[in-house]
């Protein structure tokens, strides 16, 4: 119960939260990590869409970033990304200076897992009575803010 009240009392906590499903991102290192991981995901998705095997893509992305695979591994494990390294990553990924420091809203296409969840939610909604629908709506609102 204490964890559920934490979100209500501390609206701007700076950590992932299961209960409110928000991540307050004020730390530059958190924003940079989210953005570099987004770039990596895009890189992998593009490579797989071209028919390439996922094996070896981490090393290949490290080459794109012009860092050793061990450094990329550390970055993935949330090693802070300094200003110099951030500018290098932006340059190597053809992003403007400061791009890694900005919060970007993902516009990715829905995944198969997301589509499956939406279908399951739709089925639950359609098979519920009015009270069940109110409860579902309330539950979803608790996660979306």
Q: Which tens digit of pLDDT belongs to each residue from 20-40?
A: 544 444 588 889 999 999 999
Domain boundaries, the chain: 26-101, 112-144
CA distance 23 to 3: 15
CA distance 117 to 132: 18
8 Å CB contact between 35 and 104: yes
* Chain position carrying tokens 């290949």: 60
Residues in contact with 130: Cβ distance below 8 Å, sequence separation at least 6, in sequence order:
none
Name the pTM for this structure. 0.57
Query: What pLDDT score does 145 carry?
Result: 58
């Amino acid at each position: 119960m204490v964890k559920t009240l934490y979100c209500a009392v501390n609206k701007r906590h700076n950590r992932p939260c299961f209960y409110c499903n928000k991540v307050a991102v004020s730390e530059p290192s958190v924003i940079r990590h989210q953005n570099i991981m987004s770039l990596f995901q895009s890189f992998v998705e593009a490579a797989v869409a071209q028919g390439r095997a996922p094996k070896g893509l981490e090393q290949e992305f490290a080459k794109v970033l012009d860092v050793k695979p061990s450094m990329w591994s550390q970055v993935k494990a949330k090693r802070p990304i300094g200003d110099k390294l951030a500018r290098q990553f932006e340059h190597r990924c053809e992003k403007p200076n400061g791009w890694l420091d900005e919060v970007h809203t993902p516009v990715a296409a829905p995944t198969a897992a997301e589509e499956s969840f939406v279908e399951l939610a739709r089925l639950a909604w359609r098979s519920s009575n009015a009270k069940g629908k109110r409860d579902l709506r309330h539950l979803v609102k608790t996660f979306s803010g």
